[in-house]
Amino acid sequence: MPLLTVENLSIGYHTRKGFIKSVEGVSFSLDKGKSLGFVGESGCGKTTIGMALMRLLPTNAAITQGQVLFDGHNLLEISEEGMRKIRWNKIAMIFQAAMNALNPVHRVNEQIIEAIVAHDPHISMVSATRQVEKLFELVGITAGRMRDFPHNYSGGMKQRVIIAMALACNPDLIIADEPTTALDVIVQSQILNAVKKLQKELEISLIFISHDIAVVADVCDSINIMYAGQVVETGTREEVFTAPMHPYTQNLLASYLTLDGKKASPIPGSGDTVDLIHPPQGCRFCDRCPVSNPACSHTEPQWMKISETHKVRCSQC
């Protein structure tokens, strides 16, 4: 049985202009020890899904349908007290702009110890300190730096500390939301290598959220491509990278430079982004798709099975 199964999840936000349908009909599953990436442009619903799994959506958000089964239990039906026991103990999250999450007036080890004690009040300070030392070793920082203040760390070191904090309570699942944003390419590579190493060694399930498909392909076993609140293509890393089917996926891949210069050019398209208050009846990528036909604008595309693990939501594929 998968560790996590999400079925037909739909989420929206109440705003002054209307109800924004941010996520609609998203389904996926994740086995223990495996990694799944979500890729798409800003506003496509990636972070909303991550926050929904943690039950940390803002007050103006509403889950309109679906269920989230984690270890056999529907997280959407668990009480807030029950979710407090799951957060960080079972599911941890690395939030966007995590480098700014550390309190600048407290030593780094104190902040991680506080998180450990909050979820295990019976642990001694000596044991908690030893646990922090082990976490620092895991993420590649010497234990001698654990008593430093955040401003003594580089951006990459801060990011490693946030990863260590996410690992503090030995969770089964980590949700990483843009964990390498604002890092240079060298540090980004170091962080990604650390994430991959820890995920494999500790057999932690990972959901990796990013707008960068190359980064996700470097980390994840499987990839979900999102556009305008919907998953439009899903498959293994090899399937999505070597045989992309959806025009949006093809354009994402064509937009990246390669060292050998061998790559397709992005397919030119026009049109505006989707109004998620009044989404179109048909394909949401229709107005920007270079291969659409008139039927695409009023007929919602159904899933087409390419292989046992590869599916695409497009009537033109």
> DSSP labels for 125-154?
HHHHHHHHHHHHHHTT--GGGTTS-GGGS-
Interstrand relation of 73-74 and 61-70 (parallel, antiparallel or unpaired): antiparallel
Could you tell me if 53 and 68 are in contact, meaning their C-beta atoms sit under 8 angstroms apart?
A: yes
Which tens digit of pLDDT belongs to each residue from 238-266?
999 999 999 999 988 887 766 655 555 55
**Does pLDDT of 64 surpass 60?**
yes
Residue 286 lies in a domain: yes
Is 278 among the domain residues? Answer: yes
In this predicted structure, the answer to whether residue 304 has a pLDDT above a threshold of 90 is: yes
Distance CA 190, CA 234 (A): 27
Asked if the structure places residue 183 within a domain, the reply is no
Q: Does any domain span residue 271?
A: yes
Q: What is the pLDDT of residue 260?
A: 59
Q: How confident is the model at residue 120 (pLDDT cuts 50, 70, 90)?
A: confident
The boundaries of the domain holding residue 241 are: 221-317
What average pLDDT is seen over the chain? 89
Residue 196 has a CB neighbour count (10 Å cut-off) of 16
pLDDT > 90 in the chain, percent = 59
Q: What element of type H or E holds 78? A: none
**Structural domain count of the chain:** 1
pLDDT at position 291, please?
85
Domain annotation covers residue 198:
no
Residue 235 lies in a domain: yes
> Considering the domain boundaries, does residue 120 fall inside one?
no
| Domain assignment of residue 113, yes or no | no
In single-letter form, the type of residue at position 315 comes to S
